């Protein structure tokens, strides 16, 4: 991996509040943005004589997509601004088409006017096959974000990326993975091609590329073993090339993909440990939640919890990390309940989260606490409770589609014809949903999946206390098995730990 050179800085600005959008801008745009003090200053561009240039209109969009975006979209002049942009599309170069599409998709992805302009940009780009892959992928990502139904355009994007993939940077390749994920067009061939190209580029990766690629794989739940091994090796061999924030985020992303061993965590933690006191509380929580997801309950990192107190300025995800880590490391006692309730009151003031992965992990921890503290959910608003319950109800449908779940179910169903076992799929035990339940023998089997953050540690601790024998089919262990007989042998070994076997 190349050493980090501060003079080698990519011309990349991440779209505000959206860490997986990439906008490539000339340096002078930042000064244009600073000239706007309010959205009214932006809308005054419409009355300028002569009319504003394309760069000025873009600077306005950049400002509007910031903190004022909700009010900006509601402003009566917003539609006129969109009309002005649409009228200039024919005179934009492909770089502007890409940048405009990304900013607009961030500004208001569900707004009809925005969708119309993004669609017009995509139509214009189809007529420019000479455009750089970066610009084509930017428009493709924007089209997926606003949920455009344009098969012809997405086919064009696929063809151009495939033909010119050697011109694509790591950032462009990562954005293309987000595009595929958001478009809900499962394209295994294109995904594999992009991941292979990323793996090929790892020899030239700097720390930014490693962090960004892991973030992409984590957010899209893409478990590409060959790529993850390359990235893990890069981190282990070049620990001095990452700052502490980058190392923590790498650890966290790898843990969401079930790809962190205790040794790897300890090696990275040793490097970070010297500067623990200098870390912000949210970063400390990332270390804690990573240890939780890796089931390292006895690791000394748990001591960090003693000095952390939730504050209103935290992001909601930090509050989730705090609650989960607190319950995981310290159990469900009264002291834990009191601290969690204080945090839940802060969470209740926020809009309910829309991420299924975070919500289900958060609820798993709360359900264990609720068993001994029945009023715990009263600290949340009704909207939050409804949102969490909704995710649980829809989870059954999603689990059934997971290849790992289907394979385990097939082996258990086949074995049950010859042995005295009846594993029922998707049953409930108290507040917890389990993948497979053998009620007579009180055996529970859950199947790890990259689409879920949880490793079931808290759930299984609760079930063990209730007299059940919880087992977990580990994602990477199961994935390495290529035959049905091998799968049967794996499940047999699991069951033997409960003095049972198929």
Give the CATH number of the domain where residue 415 resides: 3.40.960.10
- Angle at the Cα of 37 (from 31 to 39), degrees rounded to 5? 110
Q: Is the domain of 376 the same as that of 413? A: no
Tell me: the pLDDT tens digits for 81-138? 999 999 999 999 999 999 999 999 999 899 999 999 999 999 999 988 789 999 999 9
Q: Is the domain of 155 the same as that of 22? A: yes
Specify if 252 maps to a domain: no
pLDDT band for position 418 (cuts 50, 70, 90): confident
**What is the per-residue pLDDT for 284?**
97
- The rounded mean pLDDT for the chain is 90
- Angle at the Cα of 472 (from 467 to 477), degrees rounded to 5? 160
Of 334 and 444, more confident: 444
Tell me: the pLDDT tens digits for 161-188? 999 999 999 999 999 999 999 998 778 9
Q: Is the domain of 415 the same as that of 371? A: no
User: Is the pLDDT confidence value at 25 over 70?
Assistant: no
pLDDT band for position 32 (cuts 50, 70, 90): very low
Q: Is the domain of 3 the same as that of 92? A: yes
**34-38 contacts, C-beta under 8 A, 24 or more apart:** 35/59, 36/60, 36/63, 38/68
Of 146, 181, 216, which marks where a domain is finished?
A: 181
The Cα 318–Cα 340 span in angstroms is 13
User: Is the pLDDT confidence value at 30 over 50?
Assistant: no
Q: Is the domain of 70 the same as that of 168? A: yes
Tell me: the pLDDT tens digits for 235-257? 999 999 999 999 999 999 999 99
Q: Is 172 exposed, middle or buried (0-12, 13-18, 19+ CB in 10 A)?
A: buried
Specify if 427 maps to a domain: yes
Residue 451 DSSP symbol = T
Q: Is the domain of 385 the same as that of 416? A: no
**What is the per-residue pLDDT for 501?**
66
User: Is the pLDDT confidence value at 345 over 70?
Assistant: yes
Q: Is the domain of 346 the same as that of 371? A: yes
Specify if 154 maps to a domain: yes
Of 376, 394, 412, which marks where a domain is finished?
A: 394
pTM attached to this predicted model: 0.88
Token code pair at residue 416: 């049950």
User: Is the pLDDT confidence value at 24 over 50?
Assistant: no
Token code pair at residue 154: 């997405």
Specify if 9 maps to a domain: yes
Specify if 300 maps to a domain: no
Q: Is the domain of 335 the same as that of 415? A: no
Domain that includes residue 475, residue range: 401-496
Question: DSSP 3-state assignment of 469?
Answer: strand
Of 181, 206, 230, which marks where a domain is finished?
A: 181
Specify if 301 maps to a domain: no
Q: Is the domain of 42 the same as that of 66? A: yes
Q: Is the domain of 14 the same as that of 130? A: yes
Specify if 276 maps to a domain: no
Q: What is the mean pLDDT of residues 300-316?
A: 93
Specify if 289 maps to a domain: no
**What is the per-residue pLDDT for 332?**
83
**What is the per-residue pLDDT for 1?**
57
Total Cβ atoms within 10 A of residue 312: 8
* Tokens 């302009």 found at: 117
Q: Is the domain of 115 the same as that of 164? A: yes
Q: Is the domain of 367 the same as that of 484? A: no
Query: Total structural domains in the chain?
Result: 3
Among residues 152, 151, 92, 135, the alpha carbon closest in space to that of 117 is found at 92
User: Is the pLDDT confidence value at 23 over 50?
Assistant: no
């Amino acid at each position: 991996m190349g050493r980090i050179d501060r003079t080698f800085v990519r011309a990349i600005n991440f779209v505000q509040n959206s860490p997986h959008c990439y906008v490539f801008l000339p340096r002078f745009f930042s000064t244009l943005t600073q000239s706007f003090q309010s959205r009214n200053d932006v809308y005054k561009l419409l009355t300028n004589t002569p009319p504003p240039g394309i760069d000025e209109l873009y600077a306005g969009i950049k400002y509007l997509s910031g903190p004022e975006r909700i009010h900006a979209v509601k402003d009566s002049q917003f539609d006129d601004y969109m009309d002005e942009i649409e009228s200039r599309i024919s005179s934009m170069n492909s770089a502007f088409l890409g940048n405009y599409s990304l900013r607009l998709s961030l500004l208001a992805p569900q707004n009809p006017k925005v969708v119309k302009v993004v669609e017009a940009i995509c139509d214009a780009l189809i007529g420019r096959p000479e455009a750089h892959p970066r610009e084509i992928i930017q428009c493709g990502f924007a089209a997926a974000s606003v949920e455009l139904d344009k098969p012809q355009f997405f086919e064009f994007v696929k063809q151009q990326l495939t033909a010119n993939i050697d011109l694509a940077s790591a950032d462009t390749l990562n954005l293309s993975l987000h595009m595929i994920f958001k478009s809900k067009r499962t394209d295994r061939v294109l995904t594999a091609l992009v991941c292979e190209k990323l793996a090929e580029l790892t020899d030239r990766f700097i720390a930014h590329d490693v962090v960004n690629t892991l973030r992409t794989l984590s957010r899209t739940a893409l478990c590409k073993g060959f790529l993850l091994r390359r990235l893990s090796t890069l981190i282990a061999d070049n620990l001095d090339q990452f700052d502490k924030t980058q190392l923590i985020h790498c650890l966290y992303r790898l843990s969401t993909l079930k790809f962190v061993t205790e040794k790897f965590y300890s090696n990275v933690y040793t490097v970070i440990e010297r500067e623990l006191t200098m870390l912000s509380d949210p970063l400390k929580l990332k270390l804690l939640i990573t240890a939780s997801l890796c089931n390292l309950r006895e690791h000394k990192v748990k001591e960090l919890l003693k000095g952390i107190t939730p504050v209103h300025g935290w992001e909601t995800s930090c509050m989730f990390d705090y609650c989960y880590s607190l319950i995981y490391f310290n159990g469900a006692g009264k002291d834990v309940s009191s601290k969690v309730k204080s945090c839940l009151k802060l969470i209740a003031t926020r809009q309910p989260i829309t991420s299924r992965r975070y919500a289900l992990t958060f609820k798993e921890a709360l359900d264990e606490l609720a068993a001994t503290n029945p009023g715990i959910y009263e600290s949340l608003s009704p909207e939050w409770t409804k949102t969490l319950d909704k995710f649980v109800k829809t989870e059954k449908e999603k689990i059934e589609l997971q290849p790992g779940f289907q394979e385990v179910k097939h082996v258990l169903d086949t074995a049950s014809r010859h042995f005295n076992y009846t594993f029922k799929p998707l049953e409930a035990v108290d507040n917890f949903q389990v993948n497979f339940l053998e009620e007579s023998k009180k055996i529970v089997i859950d199947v790890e999946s990259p689409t879920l953050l949880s490793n079931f540690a808290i759930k299984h601790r609760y079930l063990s206390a209730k007299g059940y024998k919880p087992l977990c089919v580990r994602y990477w262990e199961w994935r390495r098995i290529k035959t049905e007989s091998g799968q049967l042998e794996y499940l047999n070994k699991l069951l033997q730990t409960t003095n049972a076997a198929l």
